[in-house]
Amino acid sequence: MAEPRRRRSVSQTFLVDLLLGQLDGLLPGDSRSLDVVDLGGGTGGLAISLAERGHRVTVIDPSPDALASLDRRTSDAGLGGRIRGVQGDAADLVSLVGAEGADVVVCHRVLEVVDSPAEALAAMATVLRPGGVLSLLVSQRHSVVLTQALAGHLELARQAYADPARFDHDSVLRLVTGSGFAVLASHGIGAVADHVPESVLESEAGAYAVLAALEADIAQDPAFRALAPQVHVFAQRPARPLG
Ligand SMILES: C[S@@+](CC[C@H](N)C(=O)[O-])C[C@H]1O[C@@H](n2cnc3c(N)ncnc32)[C@H](O)[C@@H]1O
């Protein structure tokens, strides 16, 4: 396989492989297709990968443009029977999916834009079957602070640091467990890969593979994880209520 050329694809590839592996790990030796709901799934980048793995994916998104693009990508990939786009948002989740209607809920880069993250997580728990899993990806405050400061936007950096609505690893874990989930794993995404100049990947043979391996090495190191642009949380709705 040719090496992907864009450096962001190192962290994106790591994330997709991580999630596919986590889902495979839930079903050892089982080829069952999972019912996946991708809340705020946009144009379906992840939905395509999940459907190619055999899963059935419902993308719920408020944007008609994103859903039109999803339809085009789905039909280009020949995955028409496995991906369905539905217009709606987090507040519609339970009415669109129904209680215990999904094995997996994906919520990537969406919790930041919903009116109430806690209510959105409660809705995700409601639509999951007992034992079902949540794949949550959120942007981290510390990385925003660094990025703004290094770009010279010092006031914005201070505002980002003081903004209680921005997530970090520990606050998002508290939110997830507070919604009744058991956290199975958390990984930083892009802690190193998103900072390596593209010229390094283009000029050195094998650099992509080494960077991908490094990204995997450090993803659960607490210091790197705290500084990663994004954190991925894989959590499970317990088969029985906790306690
Ligand atoms: C940053 S994009 C992320 C898209 C995709 N999940 C990804 O990771 O590439 C945010 C998406 O959330 C959708 N969105 C915005 N408000 C939403 C809401 N209240 N509920 C669900 N999705 C929402 C947007 O239309 C957009 O597709």
Domains of the chain, residue spans: 8-25+33-138+165-235
Q: Domain 8-25+33-138+165-235 - what CATH class?
A: alpha beta
- pLDDT on residue 7: 43
Verify whether ligand 1 is closer than 6 Å to residue 108 (CB atom): yes
Residue 168 CB coordination number (10 Å): 18
Indicate the length of the chain as a whole number: 243
Instruction: Tell me the CA–centroid distance for residue 9 and ligand 1, in Å.
Output: 19
Q: What is the dihedral of CA 169, 170, 176, 180, to 10 degrees?
A: 150
CA separation for the pair 77, 233 (Å, rounded): 28
Tell which residue, 78, 91, 70, 83, has the closest CA to residue 37.
83
- Burial annotation 21-37 (CB, 10 A radius, 16+ → b, else e): ebbeebeeeeeebbbbb
Instruction: Tell me the CA–centroid distance for residue 99 and ligand 1, in Å.
Output: 22
- pLDDT on residue 164: 87
Instruction: Tell me the CA–centroid distance for residue 14 and ligand 1, in Å.
Output: 20
Angle, alpha carbons 70-45-36 (nearest 5°): 85
Verify whether ligand 1 is closer than 6 Å to residue 44 (CB atom): no
Verify whether ligand 1 is closer than 6 Å to residue 66 (CB atom): yes
pTM over 0.75: yes
Probe residue for ligand 1, chosen from 39, 86, 113 as the CB with the greatest number of ligand atoms within 8 Å: 113
For the CA of 106, the nearest atom of ligand 1: 6
Tell me the pLDDT of the chain (243 aa) as tens digits.
344 445 448 999 999 999 999 999 887 666 679 999 999 999 999 999 999 999 999 999 999 999 999 999 999 999 999 999 999 999 999 999 999 999 999 999 999 999 999 999 999 999 999 999 999 999 999 999 999 999 999 999 999 999 988 999 999 999 999 999 999 999 999 999 998 888 888 888 899 999 999 999 999 999 999 999 999 999 999 886 544
For the CA of 41, the nearest atom of ligand 1: 6
Cβ neighbors of 11 (< 8 A, separation 6 or more) are 189, 190, 193, 194, 215, 229, 230
Verify whether ligand 1 is closer than 6 Å to residue 109 (CB atom): yes
- pLDDT on residue 82: 96
- pLDDT on residue 238: 84
Verify whether ligand 1 is closer than 6 Å to residue 19 (CB atom): no
Verify whether ligand 1 is closer than 6 Å to residue 63 (CB atom): yes
